[in-house]
Structure 1
Amino acid sequence: MLLHGHSPNQHTFNFMFSTCISISSLTIGQMIHTHFIKSGFQPDVFAATTLLDMYAKLGDLKCARYVFDEMSVRELPTWNAMMAGYTRFGDMEKALELFRLMPSRNVVSWTTIVSGYSQNKQYEKALELFLRMEREKDVIPNDVTLASVLPACANLGALEIGQRLKLAELPNPTP
């Protein structure tokens, strides 16, 4: 692009940050981030979230958190991306800290933490949070949520809850 005299714009950088995730290249991502800064761009919330997500998915949680902390505006996907980064690498304490600080939550927020607990073999906490989620009025568990909590049910022997969840997954559940 640069060789042909075309300057990248903010959308180009968003695409390149996402591509770095696809090719699992933190080094190239860091170089692109440096070029982004040197080009004088100020990241909007979408670009900053994509950048944060790149760092988090590629294992540089320190840089991801720096981007997160420097953002003046954070939207739900921003919070969810940072929490997902922490859960992916087993830091449930920091993920839960962000979850508690969130101004609002959606099904992705709840599922990120439930899934994180299950993936990190903290089954009791996964089930406890899922049951708390069910009591929330503004959030409805989806298929990903159910798939995330079923391992907790299986490992804890919570047969009744597991059966109820399995029935909820069926197209026409019958008792």
Structure 2
Amino acid sequence: MSTPTQKEDGVDQRRITVSVNGESRSAEVEPRLLLAHLLRQGLGLTGTHIGCDTTNCGACTVLYDGEPIKSCTMLAVQADGHEVTTVEGLGTPSELDPVQEGFKEEHGLQCGFCTPGMMLAAKALITRNDEPSEEDVRWALSGNLCRCTGYQNIVKAVLWAADKERANGGGSAEGPSTAEHTDLTV
């Protein structure tokens, strides 16, 4: 549970601890700070994009305890004690997650702005359903907009990733994971 504190300038702060990509991170945040801003400005995880601030585009999608959520409308204090996965937590440059591989192999990105949110929504789908249909993929991604009209290749990329996950026995590349704890003020 977040602990209330107050800065010298009288601004209300809360101390929170969130597991981000497997690493425990603590921060002093204003109660009104959005999770997207904590991730981008506070933690430097700029793969979480901000496109609309209204939950319409899905560019800010992250996994919250394994479920896709739009971080532009969730307060950082709501993530206290929870696990958040960003696109930076999917794989590494030398060992891509099957979802990342699928987007590469099937040309599932164009400008790339929607890609992190699409990948995380896809990861959540494949975790729940390792044999999704094209309709399942389209439904799972329906909250994420691609302004470059790359939907057909995105769907193919997700189906490719699901096939790869099944071939791997459901396991995927783990992102950075460490017991290290980082303390910061936002």
TM over 0.5: no
Q: Which has the larger radius of gyration?
A: 1
Q: Which has the higher contact order (CA 8 A, sep 6+)?
A: 2
Query: Structure 2 length normalisation: TM-score?
Result: 0.30
Q: Which structure is higher in helix share?
A: 1
TM-score normalized by the length of structure 1: 0.31
